[in-house]
Amino acid sequence: MIEILLMPFALKALLASSLISVICAWSGIFVTIKRMAYFSESISHSSLAGIAIALWIGFDPSIFLVFFSALMAGLIALVAQSSITSRDSVIGIIHATVMSAGIILLSFLRGGNTDIARYLFGDVLAVTNTDLYLCAALFIFASAYLAVFSKTHTLTSLTPELAKLNGINVKKYDFTLMILLALIISVSVKIAGAILVTALLIIPPNAAKNISLSYNSFVRLSIISGLLCSISGVLASIFFDFPTGPAIVLVNAIFYFLSLFMRNILKIAI
Amino acid sequence: MNIEVKDVSCKIGEVEILKDINFSLKSGSFSAIVGPNGAGKSTLIKIMLGLLKQDCSTGKILYDGIKVEEVNKSRHWLGYVPQNYSFDRSLPITLDEFYKITCALKDGDKYDEILNSLNLLKLKKHIMGGLSGGEIQRALIAYNLFHNKRVLFLDEPTSAIDIEGEALVYSILNNLNKVDKINIIIISHDIDAVLKSVDTVICLNKTIHCVGGACDILEGNMIQQFFEGHRGLYKHHGGCIHHHD
């Protein structure tokens, strides 16, 4: 039974999901503070259109998605900043437009159903070397970015007006965060699937928030729980033959409800 | 720091929020902007802070002759305590962590000294979401002090706190003004409290109705005339304190 974990597909799956879960849980801190869950959901759902285009033109969907998602985030930021429409509405409009285009495009594709199902629900057990390199590159880039700019993003999230008075370009930082999230989502789609990837961004920080008594513990617990839940999900998937994405999300959800229970037991009152 | 507000007007669509605002404030002044609801007080201080420039306003704001845009870009002299500091109160962040994340703190002794002067030292390890309105106001004043601000704007600093808390806030502001020589500009509806502390009053209702020394304005009955149509806001006064240069 244990030998199966030493097989290349299992090692790749564990490594890829670990890298992705750490970055998702870390960046998810800002998704939670800045209430960007809807944005993340839209980018992940819209990735279906990106996959459809990639399959249509015969390009590797994993690589194509990175550019497509960044473009989507840029488009949302551009329209939101240059119109009087609220950001939520802009996200809704662009989300619906791109999804519709993607669904129409998918209806023309034949024989691509297996690939589509993989991207819809995630299939970390089918991670390729290209996917693994993408995960590693994303992990290095996103970790470096978050290590350097975490404080600035926390400042712009907590006190945007006061940040402006300290010479910080809040709009620029909001834009770079949106692009970063889009890149993270585009790479994570292969692990958890377009439908479920937002869960990796929002469940670990919100579970950690329930039982943390300081910001430091909030960040650490979010990353650790994201990582452990992801590894547990992959193991459950390997040993019990569950679909991987949903297995990872369910373990995260169990931890979230457990944290909610602990919050009530410990009577954490904030 | 000398502050000049020159020809400031602000329109949102066809609605005129402020019209032809001109005044200047001396270095080290403690000023109050008073006026009824909807007079444009909060808009004016946001324009003075350079936070609304692109949206609605024309005119110039100068700090020691330097434009507000330049001040915000490279000098960061301006501090602000908003009326309603809205943040996610469920976020587990202690006051200590908030300062360590948002301020470049270097001098540990000064850190504790400032927190102590604002009655915040014992709250250092408390979660910010659990602090009262008055404690949040003082926490934001401390935030501005850690950034060595030279001008501090406060929008209704005592609106959400009790009388005891109000006295503490005014005593802190007086101290910052007199000892640290920080220019202070507040918006307040509480004329009595304002007149006891400030040396300059600006009466605003879309345009400037009066600017001058607190006592001159009060004793010349200007403020009574200004609030004639808003009697609910101005009922009585306990006199003013003459400020001498």
CA dist B182 to B25, B28, B178, B197, Å? 12, 6, 8, 14
DSSP string across B146-173: HTT-SEEEEESTTTTS-HHHHHHHHHHH
What pLDDT shows up at residue B196?
77
A-contacting residues in B 6-25 (Cβ below 8 Å): none
A-contacting residues in B 81-110 (Cβ below 8 Å): 82, 85, 87-94, 97-98, 101-102
- The verdict on a CB contact (< 8 Å) between A213 and B92 is yes
Q: Which pLDDT tens digit goes with each residue over B182-220?
A: 999 999 877 777 777 888 989 898 899 888 887 777 666
Span between the terminal Cα atoms of chain A, in Å = 45
For A33, the closest chain B residue by CA position comes to: B88
User: Which residues of chain A make contact with B147, given a CB cutoff of 8 A?
Assistant: 166
Residues 6+ apart with CB under 8 A from A147: none
CATH code for residues A2-266: 1.10.3470.10
Flag whether pLDDT at B234 surpasses 70.
Answer: no
DSSP string across B208-229: EEEEEEHHHHHHTTHHHHHTGG
Q: Give the CA-trace dihedral at A154, A193, A142, A252, to 10 degrees.
A: 50
Q: Which pLDDT tens digit goes with each residue over A19-32?
A: 999 999 999 999 99
Q: Judging by DSSP bridges, how do beta strands B57-63 and B66-67 pair with one another? A: antiparallel
**Complete edge-to-edge strand list for the sheet that includes strand B3-12:** B15-25, B3-12, B57-63, B66-67
Per-residue pLDDT band for B48 (boundaries 50, 70, 90) equals: very high
What pLDDT shows up at residue A242?
85
Rounded to an integer, what distance in angstroms lies between the CA atom of residue B205 and that of residue B232? Answer: 16
Residues 6+ apart with CB under 8 A from A117: none
Cα dihedral sign, B84-B88-B92-B96 = negative
User: Which residues of chain B make contact with A154, given a CB cutoff of 8 A?
Assistant: 101-102
Q: Which pLDDT tens digit goes with each residue over A124-182?
A: 778 888 889 999 999 999 999 999 999 999 999 988 888 999 889 998 999 999 999 99
Domain ranges (residues) in chain A: 2-266
- The verdict on a CB contact (< 8 Å) between B72 and A209 is no
Of B67, B30, B70, B38, residue with least CA distance to B178: B30
When scoring A156, A162, A202, A220 by the number of chain B Cβ atoms within 10 A, the one with the most, hence best to mutate, is: A162
> Is the distance from CB of A167 to CB of B76 less than 8 angstroms?
yes
For chain B, domains (ranges, CATH) are: 1-77+152-157+184-245 (3.40.50.300)
Q: Judging by DSSP bridges, how do beta strands B57-63 and B3-12 pair with one another? A: antiparallel
> Is the distance from CB of B31 to CB of B25 less than 8 angstroms?
yes
DSSP string across A88-129: HHHHHHHHHHHHHHHHHHHHH--S-HHHHHHHHH--GGG--H
- The verdict on a CB contact (< 8 Å) between B93 and A159 is no
Please give the radius of gyration of chain B, using alpha carbons only, rounded to the nearest integer: 18
Positions of E strands within chain A: none
Flag whether pLDDT at A262 surpasses 80.
Answer: yes
What pLDDT shows up at residue B53?
66
- The verdict on a CB contact (< 8 Å) between A33 and B90 is no
> Is the distance from CB of B138 to CB of B169 less than 8 angstroms?
yes
Judged by phi (left if over 0) then psi (alpha if -120 to 50, else beta), residue B64 lies in: left
Q: Which pLDDT tens digit goes with each residue over B77-97?
A: 999 998 878 788 889 999 999
Question: What phi, psi does A36 have (nearest 5°)?
Answer: -110, 20
The ipTM of this complex is: 0.82
Query: Average pLDDT in the B122-133 region?
Result: 91
- The verdict on a CB contact (< 8 Å) between B76 and A167 is yes
What pLDDT shows up at residue B224?
64
Q: State whether residue A167 is helix, strand or coil.
A: coil
Q: Which pLDDT tens digit goes with each residue over A33-88?
A: 998 999 999 999 888 888 888 888 888 888 898 999 999 999 998 888 888 888 88
